Amino acid sequence: MRIAVLTGAGISAESGIRTFRATDGLWEEHRIEDVATPEGFLRDPGLVHRFYNMRRADAARAQPNAAHRALAELARHHQVTLITQNVDDLHERGGSPEVVHMHGSLLGALCAGCGHRWPASLVMRAADPCPACGRPQTRPDIVWFGEIPYHMERIWEAVERAQVFAAIGTSGQVYPAAGLAQHARRAGAETIELNLAASAVAGDFARRQTGPATRVVPEWVAGLCR
């Protein structure tokens, strides 16, 4: 079966990685305009690097959980396109063979000058010279607000071809990710939301499994892999 899965910060919450919009979320402590926009980077690249260096260290300490591993199991039984808004590498370390990072990755560095990409070091600084052009304009390879998410053609195609579309651990507040369920449903997919609570786009899903990802995702996958 062709399955498209969209994950958000909630799937990594039980691995100890903070989500964004919970009461102790990242956006309670940091202003999006300061650390997650191109303008914020131009204004204070050091602040942006400190924010992502902290997130990179948190992600490096975290371990994949049962939900990440269940999605890897799902890919052993079905044609799964795993689309994630997350920038950690827990899906890869949990065994998923292919992950589409629509918001980029903490493991990537990008030159704001020439566009060259290379593997990020654990601690990055704007002054790090670009290996290709030498300019000191190193930024995290993360898609910031106001920028175009990565791999959208591939994502729309996978969502349109999917027989099942599942969203896991996302609040449904950021587009285009939040619009994928409606797109899938219009294309005829069976849609399900797995989350601790109803998301902002809960009405776009035909079904919902409520609970922590480490319980509801393995249960959902077991039902598809019998």
Whether 103 sits among the annotated catalytic residues: the reply is: yes
- Token pair of 200 as six digits: 């902002």
Tell me the torsion sign for CA atoms 37, 38, 39, 44. Answer: positive
Find out whether 162 is annotated in a ligand binding site: no
Contact 38, 144 (CB under 8 A): yes
CB of 174 to ligand APR, least distance (A): 4
Which CB, 20 or 128, lies closer to ligand APR?
20
194 annotated as belonging to a binding site for a ligand: no
CA-to-CA dists, residue 184 to 5, 100, 117, 178, angstroms: 11, 17, 32, 11
Measured from the CB atom, is 128 or 171 closer to ligand APR? 171
Min CB(149)–ligand APR separation in Å: 9
121: annotated binding-site residue?
no
Which residue's CB is nearer to ligand APR, number 53 or number 171? Answer: 171
Q: Which residues contact 199 (CB under 8 A, 6 or more apart)?
A: 167, 170, 171, 172, 173, 178, 193
Least Å from the CB of residue 99 to ligand APR: 14
Q: Provide, rounded to whole angstroms, the least separation between the CB of residue 150 and ligand APR.
A: 12
| 70 belongs to an annotated ligand binding site | no
The count of residues in the chain is 226
Task: Give the span between the Cα atoms of 39 and 36, in whole angstroms.
Answer: 9
Q: In what order do the strands lie in the sheet with 104-111?
A: 117-119, 104-111, 138-142
Annotated binding residue 199: no
Binding site for ligand APR (CB under 6 A): 8-10, 13-14, 19-22, 25, 85, 103, 169-171, 173-174, 195-197, 199, 212-213
CA distance 43 to 20: 22
The 3-state DSSP class for residue 52 equals: helix
Q: Which residue is nearest to ligand APR (CB)?
A: 10
Reading the block at residue 184, the tokens are: 């899938």
Query: Between 53 and 128, whose beta carbon lies closer to ligand APR?
Result: 53
**Out of 103, 116, 151, 183, which one is annotated catalytic?**
103
Give binding residues for Zn(2+) as ranges: 111, 114, 130, 133
Give binding residues as ranges: 8-27, 52, 55, 85-88, 111, 114, 130, 133, 169-171, 195-197, 213
Give binding residues for substrate as ranges: 52, 55
Q: Which residues are catalytic?
A: 103
